[in-house]
Structure 1
Amino acid sequence: MSSTAQTADTTVTIVDGRVVTPDGVIDGRVEIGGDRITAVGDSDAETDTVIDANGQLVLPGLVDIHGDDIESHLYPRSGARMDTEMALAAADRANVAAGITTKFHAISFELDESADRSPELAATLTDAITDATDLLVDHRLHARCEVTQKRCVEAVIDVIDNDNTDLVSVMSHVPGKGQFRDIEAFRQYYENANDRTAAEAEEMIDERGSMSMATLRERVDRVVDRAHEAGVVTASHDDENPREVEQLADSGVDIAEYPITLETAQRATEIGMTTAMGAPNLVRGESQWGNLSTAAGIDAGVIDTLVADYHPPSLLAGVFVDTEEPLHERVKRATANPADAVGLSDRGRIKAGKRADLIVVDPDPTPTVTAAVVAGQPVYHADTTIEVSR
């Protein structure tokens, strides 16, 4: 996994900021020693580097546990493949500019050539992510396993066994189920969005629609069991009803991503699963597929975590959508809560002793990252009103 290099005795201070702590917003400064926060609030210690926030907000770096935006860097047009390292570097810069300092790339282990997806390509991306050492943010792998395809199940098992992933999710894109409860929606998505012929879309409906639920459950159990044996957190995708999340929880799944209905999200919360919803859904005000809106889930108190999904800027923008909650509570959905959900309790909050991942944000007219610190190292500066002195 990649991370920025940091000299142990380097010190940094962010001054004149409105600091969003776990308990509220305070005026003051944040001091950093090495890769850790050493003090929050009032202090006059001298440091090697001073970042003047000029009255802007200082937030914990965002933690995105599900972002598939690297696909658009790898294939800016369908069939137009770019160099893998170039795509990863571009995603790195785009994410830090969006305030994301810990990135779980949701790599789809799915055989779908017309959508530029295959288990072999997923393995190539896995190697690039795990081998990278010179990127700005902390990059990690979220392996998404299409359980309707045995070949993809085997590929994800290999990734788990090779200790290359920190999060595994199980998904089954089946016509008439989950995201595609309407078979016509499945047909239109795979025919139009992925440039298939009508005959090819019908072939997918026949192939995936004939898969028995017993086979799907056996594959889910196998992947989840292997992940937990390796100490890897697991998630499900597009759960459509309370009974389904109950079965997944019984299998050991930890996180319910994108529950289809409010009742499903409520049940996931009741049985102790973390619930994650897309920030683009919140920013846009609706689900692309007519499913549960993130705002409705938040209003009902059943959404723990926001994820960037396909659009990194929405994760920060989602924090500033008015949900009638204090800012520090909204911030937790994109920082502390996702960090805790995947076992990274060392980050996601501005508190002494925690990892020094911090962003300076100008909230108006649209939330914009003006500076970023990752593991104690200033890595991004994009505003002339923000002064960095050494």
Structure 2
Amino acid sequence: MSGDGRAVSKPDTAESHNSRTVVLENGRIVTPSAVIGGPLLLEGDRIAGVDRNAADADERIDVDGSLVMPGLIDVHGDDIENQLFPRNSRIDIDLALMATDRATLAAGITTKFHAIAFEDAPEDNRSSALASELVDRIEESSLLADHRIHARCELTEAESVRGVRSVLEADIVGLVSLMNHVPGTGQFETVEQFKEWYVGSADHTEAEADEIIELRRSVGADELERRIETVVSEAETAGVRVASHDDETAREVDRLADYGVDMSEYPITMDAAERAAERGLWTSMGAPNLVRGGSQWGNLGTAEAIGAGVVDVLCADYHPPSLLKAPFVETGESLPERVRRVTAAPAAAVGLTDRGRIEEDARADVVVVDPEPGPRVECVFVGGEEVSRTGGVR
């Protein structure tokens, strides 16, 4: 695996990537600044020309008026958990990965950062041991999309910190996020909300919930700060971006930005989101929040934050189809601006400079999308290689 956290999906060969030319005809191309008509020329693993044809192309595909967009980039998707535990009992990891890969492509996602929680949370089917196993299997697997690792570090758990530091040292992670799920902060604003989740949704007794609360509150503030400093420093040494998670206040954003955090992920208040923007952090929020019309926890709504100009990136979270739907939710902005939040902006946020836009010499990660009534993905190219096609293109 490369130093930017990429799990290599397919070997590059001269036959598959270095010379083959494909023309996508009769499409509406979503460029960084406009939607234009005309052909798109792919050559090898690159975009060779926008509104450019080639009479001697190896293949011509008529997309019949559909949109031609950059492949979507998901920097936080934990839907592998649902595939691995479909009814709270575990299935084979390889089968889960294959199903996730296909669902990823069906949502138009060509670069996927699996948000893997290094966290001892049996109620959510999470453990550091399972996280390490998932990382290893993703690294070894031959999949169609470009699969990468987003390591989620639960700062209240020493084992989680050790696990994330281990994958950083092994050079197999592309993004780290810092979580601090202490009851009464962040996503769970009160201890009562924390208990409600663990007793109701996670099927724990109240005594078990109290035990979890006590455990997570047992880590002192000085130790938490030391762990933050260590993880951020080691990520910086590895060239890996770091996100904070569930920021609640402007003060919290300032504190983490001072440590060197690059992204505010799921800020739960407008104050936190606005401060992140002021500090120059990338701000990432959930596409399901936008598509659904609000936060399921009563926190900051994605649409409200977009209206305030403080959302750079949208991610799939637990529901990849929402990432595909998000650019087609009306926000008063142009389609290229909305598409940017799921393509070029997430690419830039994690330091991927070769993809996320339809322009000459960018990596040929391209999706053909029929926006009505779906949207529905009709064709997917990953690194110039066609990996999926349905009806509607020929």
After TM superposition, list the pairs within 5 Å mapping 1:64-75 onto structure 2: 64-75=74-85
Q: CA deviation at 1:162?
A: 0.4
Counterparts of 1:321-332 in structure 2, within 5 Å, are 321-332=329-340
Aligned residue in 2 for 1:305:
313
Report the equivalent of 2:224: 216
Deviation at 1:43, TM superposition (A): 2.3
* 1:217-257 superposed Cα distances (whole Å, 9 cap, x missing partner): 21111111111111111101001100001010011100100
**CA offsets, 1:121-152, max 9 Å, x none?**
000000011122x2110000000000100011
2:159 pairs with one of 138, 143, 151: 151
TM-score by length of 2: 0.96
Q: Secondary structure at the match of 2:173?
A: coil
- Rounded to whole Å, the distance in 2 between the matches of 1:357 and 1:46 is 22
Structure 2 partner of 1:82: 91
Displacement of 1:163 in angstroms is 0.5
The offset of 1:211, in angstroms, is: 2.7
Identity of aligned residues (%): 53
Q: Which residue pairs with 1:40 in the alignment?
A: 50
Instruction: Write the deviation string for residues 29-79 of structure 1: whole angstroms up to 9, x where unpaired.
Output: 11111100000014243211222110010110000000000001111111x
User: Which residue of 2 is the match for residue 122 of structure 1?
Assistant: 131
- Structure 2 residue ranges without an equivalent (≥5): 1-6
**Matching residue's letter, 1:50:** R
Is 2:148 aligned against 1:140? yes
CA distance in 1, matches of 2:347, 2:364: 14
Q: How far off is 1:366 after superposition?
A: 1.9
Q: Which residue of 1 aligns with 2:9?
A: 3
Find 2:390's aligned residue among 372, 379, 382: 382
SS of residue paired to 1:201: helix
1:4–1:374 Cα contact (<8 Å) kept: no
Q: CA deviation at 1:214?
A: 2.1
When the two chains are superposed, the root-mean-square deviation of aligned CA atoms in Å is 1.0
C-alpha separation in 2, matches of 1:16 and 1:324: 27
Could you tell me which residue of structure 1 aligns to residue 4 of structure 2? Answer: none
Q: Determine whether 1:104 maps to 2:110.
A: no
With 205-214 and 285-294 compared, the bigger mean Cα shift is at 205-214
Give the aligned partner of residue 253 of structure 1.
261
State the match for 1:186 in structure 2.
194
Contact 1:238 1:258 in 2 (8 A): yes
1:240 matched to 2:248? The reply is: yes
**Distance between the aligned counterparts of 2:140 and 2:220, measured in 1?**
38
Offset of 1:118 from its aligned partner?
Answer: 0.4
Aligned ranges for residues 212-361 of structure 1 at < 5 Å? 212-361=220-369
Report the secondary structure of 1:7's partner residue.
helix
Structure 1 letter corresponding to 2:343: T
- TM-score, scaled relative to structure 1: 0.97
| Matched residue type, 2:85 | Y
Partner of 2:140: 131
Alpha-carbon shift at residue 335 of structure 1 (Å): 0.1
CA deviation string 1:72-105 (max 9, x = no partner): 1111111x11111111111000000100000000
| In structure 2, C-alpha distance between the alignment counterparts of 1:295 and 1:228, rounded to whole Å | 32
- Structure 2 counterpart of 1:4, which letter? K
- Structure 1: segments with no counterpart, 5+ residues: none
Say how many residue pairs are matched: 384
Whether the 8 Å CA contact 1:4–1:377 is kept in 2: the answer is no
User: Counterpart of 1:51 in 2: which secondary structure?
Assistant: strand
CA-CA distance at 1:199 after TM superposition? 1.1
Tell me if structure 2 keeps the 8 A contact 1:2–1:129: no
2:27 touches 2:68 (CA, 8 Å); kept in 1? yes
Q: Show CA shifts across 1:252-290 (max 9, x none).
A: 100100001111101001011000000000000100110
Of 189-198 and 279-288, more deviation after overlay is shown by 189-198
Moved more, 199-208 or 101-110: 199-208
Q: Secondary structure at the match of 2:37?
A: strand
Encode CA deviations 1:305-325: one digit per residue, 9 max, x unaligned: 000000000001011000000
* Structure 1, 111-120 or 97-106: larger mean CA deviation: 111-120
Residues 41 and 54 of structure 2 are in contact (CA less than 8 Å); yes or no, is this contact kept in structure 1?
no
Q: Tell me, in whole angstroms, the C-alpha distance in 2 between the residues paired with 1:114 and 1:290.
A: 22
Check conservation: 1:347, 1:356, Cα contact below 8 A. yes
1:131 and 1:347 map into 2 onto residues whose CA distance is: 23
Cα distance in 2 for partners of 1:218, 1:45 equals: 61
CA deviation vs aligned residue, 1:298-354 (integer Å, no higher than 9, x gap): 000000000000000000101100000000000000000000011111000000000
Residue 60, structure 1, aligned to residue 70, structure 2: yes
